[in-house]
């Protein structure tokens, strides 16, 4: 028998945690070559493409979830290892960057490296600082989902200058991978 005087219990909706909000997948995923190989069997270049997100998406997510001026990222150059990408470091000295991300009363540090030795020194530092920021963010869950996506092996239209004429975009994330991501990051459970 139901007591008509007792109001029904309100179900409390679980608010997502900061970690869950930070770790939601980004709306836009890009792809870049990790390794490029030349096949003598078919005289074509092939690339292993890995997913990544633009640094601005990381910054936007930090501002959205943590708040503008409520997080801080600083970086400093470190002595470079003896070789980077097989090149002597005298040409690329001080390209390794140590980043430090502070937010929510916590500090995470990680290092960043240039992603391309075919650019000028200023671009190397920018790439290293961006890499360091992304690596620090991963410690807070931001961008971690990218590691759960499968690498793609695609034909790479290499023009000899390190550029990919088809922008290296492999097939889009398939429904199975998308479902896996949605299940992993569904904060309504």
The pair of three-digit structure tokens given for residue 64, joined into one six-digit string: 């959205």
Alpha-carbon distance of 95 to 125, in angstroms, equals 6
CATH of the domain at 84: 3.30.390.80
Alpha-carbon distance of 133 to 73, in angstroms, equals 7
- With a CB cutoff of 8 Å and minimum separation 6, the contacts of 178 are none
What domain range is 62 assigned to? 18-160
Do the domain assignments include residue 123? yes
Do the domain assignments include residue 83? yes
Domain count, the chain: 1
Do the domain assignments include residue 102? yes
Do the domain assignments include residue 183? no
pTM: 0.70
Do the domain assignments include residue 43? yes
How does pLDDT run along the chain (189 residues), one tens digit per residue?
556 677 667 777 788 999 999 999 998 888 877 777 777 777 777 778 888 999 999 999 999 999 999 999 999 988 766 555 555 554 555 578 999 999 999 999 999 988 765 567 778 889 899 999 999 999 999 999 998 887 777 777 655 444 444 444 454 445 565 555 555 545 444
């Amino acid at each position: 028998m139901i007591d008509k005087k007792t109001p029904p219990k309100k179900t409390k909706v679980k608010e997502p945690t900061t970690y869950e909000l930070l770790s939601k997948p980004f709306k836009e995923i890009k792809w870049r070559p990790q390794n490029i190989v030349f096949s003598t069997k078919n005289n074509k270049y092939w690339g292993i493409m890995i997913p990544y997100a633009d640094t601005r998406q990381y910054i936007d997510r930090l501002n959205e979830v943590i708040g503008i001026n409520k997080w801080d990222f600083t970086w400093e150059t470190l002595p470079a290892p003896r070789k980077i990408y097989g090149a002597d470091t005298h040409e690329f000295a001080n390209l390794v960057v140590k980043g430090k991300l502070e937010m929510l009363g916590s500090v995470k540090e990680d290092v960043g490296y240039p992603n391309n030795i075919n650019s000028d020194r200023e671009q190397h530092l920018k790439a290293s600082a961006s890499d360091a920021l992304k690596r620090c963010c991963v410690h807070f869950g931001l961008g971690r989902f990218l590691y759960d996506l499968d690498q793609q092996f695609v034909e790479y239209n290499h023009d000899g200058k390190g550029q990919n004429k088809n922008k290296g975009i492999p097939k889009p994330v398939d429904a199975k991978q998308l479902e896996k991501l949605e299940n992993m990051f569904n904060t309504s459970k």
